[in-house]
């Protein structure tokens, strides 16, 4: 059963990896896409955000749909949608087509993480949920890492033909969709473990009322949102351009920016394991946000010329973003079992909403003077340490410690 569970989990991770790649490739290929589509940098930021807007819209419905139909059907359809959107993006000729295809990518990708978490909850003991969440993100985040420097190298091999690469990406998506449809199963047969499906599913409105009345769910979601927003901002939007402005080549800049994703990949399972071991959530949340605060200040304001040091600092910013991974275990421990999947979607909704809204705002500041410069980047990216500071305050003073125990379930004390 353990090997079969790992196989099911791996299949779901494949799609998570794929949708994460789709999430990040636009920032890396910005210098090719902008002139080819005859769009402005601001329009490119909105094209990138189109993915996150659709992703955010779907988060609460995704939880309900996974409850009702299971991961197999939904992940298969979602992966097929993403593959079609990748093909579409490879043929677009302007802003509207690019935005629409990115929006479609976001709709399909919205099912990736929640469907994966549902597989983890159904196939593995609940005590390992934080670690499995982190390990899932570790493998999934390899996707945006591949959308960094490796993608630039592929572009050089294919004479900067980004459209051909997108078509190849669509083919890969179709293959993954077929694998999911044939082999993935929602839950093990004849198991005594409890699973996430409830016998009498409540309507969405009733679940939303219960969530609204849970202040700790809101606090944890706000922590996760402010903690994670800097990762896609640097890794998928402006990190490569910022490093190019500081004098690095596109491949060097993409390598530095991709360190954000490497930090997130390593930080997620590590933070989950440490949190499980020490039986504390708040400690991990606060320490990670503090790391992000100091690392981002150094990246934005200090005149650092060492590529190695910049890689290390970008890595630490990604590591700090692993606080959002621990937040999924934290928020799941603050609600009753009937809200388990819905609250995961609620948490992801906040995370993705911030990831969609922040980049266009930053873009406005970066281009406010009509031309990009190091100073304009510093002005726009100043929001990063502010976000980490807010997440630290929320994690330290508002989020309550769960001690890795479900707060809505009774426990016994021996006298």
Q: What is the mean pLDDT of residues 107-111?
A: 94
Instruction: Say what the pLDDT of residue 170 is.
Output: 95
Distance from chain centroid for Cα 17: 10
Residue 168 domain flag: yes
Instruction: Say what the pLDDT of residue 200 is.
Output: 52
Q: Which of 125-129, 134-138, 258-262, 397-401 has the lowest mean pLDDT?
A: 125-129
Residue 246's nearest CA partner among 294, 296, 302, 293 is 302
Residue 294 domain flag: yes
Q: What pTM was estimated for this model as a whole?
A: 0.76
Answer with the residue of higher pLDDT: 413 or 325.
325
Residue 402 domain flag: no
What CATH number does residue 269 fall under?
Answer: 1.20.1250.20
Rounded Cα–Cα distance for residues 81 and 86 (Å): 9
pLDDT at 394 over 90: yes
Instruction: Say what the pLDDT of residue 408 is.
Output: 67
Residue 138 domain flag: yes
Domain that holds residue 381: 2-186+201-397
pLDDT at 145 over 80: no
Rounded Cα–Cα distance for residues 372 and 363 (Å): 10
Residue 410 domain flag: no
User: Read out DSSP for 268-330?
Assistant: HHHHHHHHHHHT-SHHHHHHHHHHHHHHHHHHHHS----HHHHHHHHHHHHHHTTHHHHHHHH
Residue 406 domain flag: no
Residue 323 domain flag: yes
Phi, psi of 286 (to 5 degrees): -70, -45
Number of domains forming the structure of the chain: 1
Rounded Cα–Cα distance for residues 334 and 324 (Å): 15
Q: In this predicted model, what pLDDT tens digit does every residue of 45-92 receive, in sequence order?
A: 889 888 888 988 888 788 778 877 889 999 999 999 999 999 999 999
Residue 193 domain flag: no
pLDDT-above-70 percentage for the chain: 93
Cβ distance 345 to 353 under 8 Å? Answer: no
């Amino acid at each position: 059963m353990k090997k079969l569970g790992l196989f099911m989990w791996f299949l779901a991770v494949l799609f998570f990896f794929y949708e994460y790649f789709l999430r990040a490739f636009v920032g890396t290929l910005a210098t090719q896409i902008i002139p080819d589509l005859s769009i402005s940098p601001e329009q490119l930021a909105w094209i990138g955000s189109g993915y996150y807007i659709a992703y955010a819209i779907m988060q609460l419905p995704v939880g309900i749909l996974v409850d009702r139909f299971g991961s197999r059907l939904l992940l298969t359809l979602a992966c097929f949608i993403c593959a079609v959107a990748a093909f579409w993006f490879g043929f677009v000729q302007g802003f509207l087509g690019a935005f629409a295809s990115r929006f479609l990518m976001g709709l399909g990708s919205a099912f990736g993480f929640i469907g994966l978490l549902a597989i983890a909850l159904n196939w593995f003991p609940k005590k390992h949920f934080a670690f499995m969440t982190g390990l899932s993100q570790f493998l999934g985040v390899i996707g945006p890492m591949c959308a960094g420097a490796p993608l630039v190298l592929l572009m050089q091999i294919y004479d900067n033909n980004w459209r051909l690469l997108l078509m190849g990406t669509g083919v890969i998506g179709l293959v993954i969709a077929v694998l999911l449809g044939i082999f993935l199963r929602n839950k093990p047969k004849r198991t005594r473990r409890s699973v996430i499906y409830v016998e009498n599913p409540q309507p969405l409105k009733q679940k939303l009322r219960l969530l609204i009345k849970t202040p700790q769910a809101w606090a944890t979601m706000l922590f996760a949102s402010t903690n994670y927003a800097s990762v896609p901002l640097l890794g998928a939007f402006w990190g490569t351009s910022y490093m190019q402005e500081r004098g690095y080549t596109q491949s060097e800049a993409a390598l530095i920016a991709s360190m954000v994703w490497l930090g997130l990949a390593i930080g997620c399972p590590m933070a989950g394991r440490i949190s499980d071991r020490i039986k504390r959530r708040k400690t991990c949340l606060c320490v990670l946000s503090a790391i992000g605060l100091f690392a981002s200040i150094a990246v934005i304001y200090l005149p650092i010329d060492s590529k190695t040091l910049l890689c290390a600092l970008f890595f630490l910013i990604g590591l700090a973003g692993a606080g959002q991974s621990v937040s999924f275990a934290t928020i799941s421990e603050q609600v009753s079992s009937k809200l388990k999947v819905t609250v995961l979607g609620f948490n992801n909704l906040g995370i993705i909403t911030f990831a969609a809204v922040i980049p266009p705002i930053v873009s406005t500041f970066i281009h406010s003077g009509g031309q990009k410069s190091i100073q304009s980047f510093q002005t726009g990216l100043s929001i990063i340490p502010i976000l980490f500071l807010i997440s630290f305050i929320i994690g330290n003073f508002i989020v309550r410690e769960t001690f890795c125990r479900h707060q809505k379930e009774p426990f016994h004390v021996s006298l």
